[in-house]
């Protein structure tokens, strides 16, 4: 007999199931694949990475790095697996997607406390406490059931970047380097002259996009399609994904006018992701326009960019501080449905929901995470009333400021990270002693 159910075997669901098992609970993990896949998924494995293979910055002095360190302290399964299939990406943690998914899947399958049930759940009536971790593409009967309990979804659209094959890149026109010399020349860089950039810009803003239906609250800022970003102004891309800062063109010794970076997609280095080029262009238009990028004139696209709907709850109105539904406290929510935005953010919420659920099962009051930690701050963000609630990823702005003023940003962020880690260590030690 299972103590608790987890619906969904994505990042959040796998972290939740793993955390519950580590704390002695019997888990029924429901996953609809291979019976049914969402439009964004390609494989039958667990923890499938859809938009990108990057898990963002590693340095603990960054927001993304701090988040990952806090997750490690809480026993993250996904970060353990990521460390075993990392591919070079400068200061970022990037993984081979297929190996990553396989490692997570095997860990869950081999856990004696987890029973995997390949079923599609269409209603929240499993008869035991439940963690819903079905992700931003939740639909059908389950979406209807959750919507009835919460008063409806808010939603936005998310976009994935194209991937090109390595042997189709003109290596004579690209240059290996990481911005600011971070990493061992892990990125390939496609440098634009001013004239090349202007031609590319004009074609991009006039390219034909694929129709996207059912828009509610627009496109999420963090995954803005490149063509929509470009339409904000001719120089916008040069201050975003095509910023040339920190790079030098070896042909001239000067900073290029603009740059597109390519990041390794797998350990064999046979595929590269066009960084920051999430898009909703039609496939033919992607081939035509993106082949204008220097070095990609003959590019073979292993995957074109796609765009899909992401849904999330109005967390301040619907969720308790322990990620349970206000009107059904035996049902917890994890993943991007909560408003935690991003791969690792989603995974971290699975750990948190599981810890809170264990407390509920054991009949004890949950302790809230320290306010100065990244996880504690994200929980506080999604619990704060907001007339225009939007998902939030890890960033230093959500953490309360330091008591002392530190003008240098690097030093300030380092101090914020030290404080967060110290508070998390005390929090965990106190829990062990209770």
**Helix 11-22 to helix 343-362 angle, to the nearest 10 degrees?**
40
Count, residues in the chain: 434
Q: Supply the pLDDT for residue 146.
A: 93
Q: What is the DSSP string of 222-254?
A: GG--HHHHHTT-TTTGGGTTT--TT---TTTSS
Locus of tokens 């439940």:
130
Q: What is the pLDDT of residue 337?
A: 96
Please give the Cα distance from 188 to 51 (Å, whole number): 19
Distance CA 361, CA 6 (A): 14
pLDDT digits over 254-309, tens only? 999 999 999 998 888 889 999 999 999 999 999 999 999 999 999 999 889 988 77
Domain locations in the chain as residue ranges: 4-153+313-433, 160-309
CATH fold for domain 160-309: Elongation Factor Tu (Ef-tu); domain 3 (2.40.30)
pLDDT score at 216: 45
Question: Which bin fits 8, alpha (ψ -120 to 50), beta or left (φ > 0)?
Answer: left
CA gap 104, 285 in Å, rounded: 36
Q: Which tokens sit at 145?
A: 């059931």
CB 168 within 8 A of CB 298: yes
Record the pTM.
0.84
Helix or strand run (H / E) with residue 109: helix 97-109
Q: Round to whole Å and give the CA distance between 215 and 218.
A: 6
Residue with tokens 């008869």: 127
Q: How many CB atoms lie within 10 A of CB 415?
A: 16
Tell me the two tokens of residue 345. 């953010």
Pair of tokens at residue 327: 């009107």
Torsion angle defined by CA atoms of residues 351, 353, 358 and 359, in that order, rounded to the nearest 10 degrees: 120
How would you write the pLDDT of the chain (434 residues) with one tens digit per residue?
Answer: 999 999 999 999 999 999 999 999 999 999 999 888 776 677 889 999 987 899 999 999 999 999 999 999 999 999 999 999 999 998 999 999 999 999 999 999 999 999 999 999 999 999 999 999 999 888 889 999 999 999 888 777 777 899 999 999 999 999 998 776 665 567 999 999 999 999 999 999 999 998 765 444 456 666 789 999 999 999 999 999 999 988 988 888 899 999 999 999 888 888 999 999 999 999 999 999 999 999 999 999 988 998 877 889 999 999 999 999 999 999 999 999 999 999 999 999 999 999 999 999 999 999 999 999 999 999 999 999 888 888 889 999 999 999 999 999 899 999 999 999 999 999 999 987 65
Give the per-residue pLDDT at 218. 57
For domain 4-153+313-433, the CATH superfamily is FAD/NAD(P)-binding domain (3.50.50.60)
Contact 60, 394 (CB under 8 A): no
Q: What b/e readout covers 137-150, taking b as 16+ CB neighbours within 10 angstroms?
A: bbeeebbebbeebb
| b/e sequence 352-361, b meaning 16+ C-beta within 10 Å | bbbbbbbebb
Q: How far apart are the first and last CA of the chain?
A: 28
Predicted confidence (pLDDT) per residue in 32-75, tens digit: 998 887 766 778 899 999 878 999 999 999 999 999 999 999 99
Nearby residues of 119 by Cβ (< 8 Å), 6 or more positions away: 30, 31, 32, 35
* Contacts of residue 257, Cβ cutoff 8 Å, sequence gap at least 6: 191, 192, 193, 194, 196, 197, 238, 244
């Amino acid at each position: 007999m299972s103590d608790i159910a987890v619906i969904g075997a994505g990042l959040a669901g796998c972290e939740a199931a793993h955390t519950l098992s580590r704390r002695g609970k019997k888990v029924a993990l429901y996953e609809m694949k291979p019976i049914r896949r969402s439009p964004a998924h390609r494989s039958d494995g667990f923890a499938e990475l859809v938009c990108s293979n990057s898990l963002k910055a590693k340095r603990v002095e960054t927001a993304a790095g701090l988040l990952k360190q806090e997750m490690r302290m809480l026993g993250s399964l996904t970060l353990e697996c990521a460390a075993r299939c990392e591919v070079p990406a400068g200061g970022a943690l990037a993984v081979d997607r297929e190996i990553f998914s396989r490692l997570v899947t095997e860990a869950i399958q081999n856990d004696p406390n987890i029973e995997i049930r390949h079923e599609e759940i269409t209603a929240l009536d499993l008869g035991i406490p439940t963690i819903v971790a079905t992700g931003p593409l939740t639909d059908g009967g389950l979406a209807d059931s959750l919507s009835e309990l919460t008063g409806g979804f808010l939603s936005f659209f998310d976009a994935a970047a194209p991937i090109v094959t390595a042997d189709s890149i003109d290596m004579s026109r690209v240059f290996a380097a990481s911005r600011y010399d971070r990493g061992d020349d892990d990125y390939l860089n496609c440098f634009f002259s001013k004239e090349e950039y202007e031609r590319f810009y004009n074609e991009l803003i006039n390219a034909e996009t694929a129709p996207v239906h059912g828009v509610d609250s627009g496109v999420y800022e963090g995954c803005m399609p490149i063509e929509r970003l470009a339409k904000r102004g001719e120089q916008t891309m040069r201050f975003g994904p095509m910023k040339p800062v920190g790079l030098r063109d070896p042909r001239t010794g000067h900073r290029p006018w603009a740059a597109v970076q390519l990041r390794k997609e797998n350990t064999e280095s046979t595929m590269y992701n066009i960084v920051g080029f999430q898009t909703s262009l039609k496939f033919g238009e992607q081939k035509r326009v993106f082949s204008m990028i220097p070095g990609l004139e003959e590019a073979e696209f292993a995957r074109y960019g796609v765009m899909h709907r992401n849904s999330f709850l109005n967390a301040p109105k619907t969720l308790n501080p322990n990620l349970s539904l206000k009107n059904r406290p035996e049902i917890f929510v994890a993943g991007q449905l909560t408003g935690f935005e991003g791969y690792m953010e989603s995974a971290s919420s699975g750990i948190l929901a599981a810890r809170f659920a264990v407390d509920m099962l054991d009949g004890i009051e949950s302790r809230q995470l320290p306010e100065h930690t990244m996880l504690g701050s994200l929980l506080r963000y999604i619990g704060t009333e907001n007339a225009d609630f939007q998902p939030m990823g890890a960033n230093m702005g959500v953490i309360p400021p330091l008591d002392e003023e530190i003008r240098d940003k690097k030093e300030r962020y380092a101090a914020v990270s030290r404080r967060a880690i110290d508070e998390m260590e005390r929090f965990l030690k106190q829990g062990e002693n209770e």
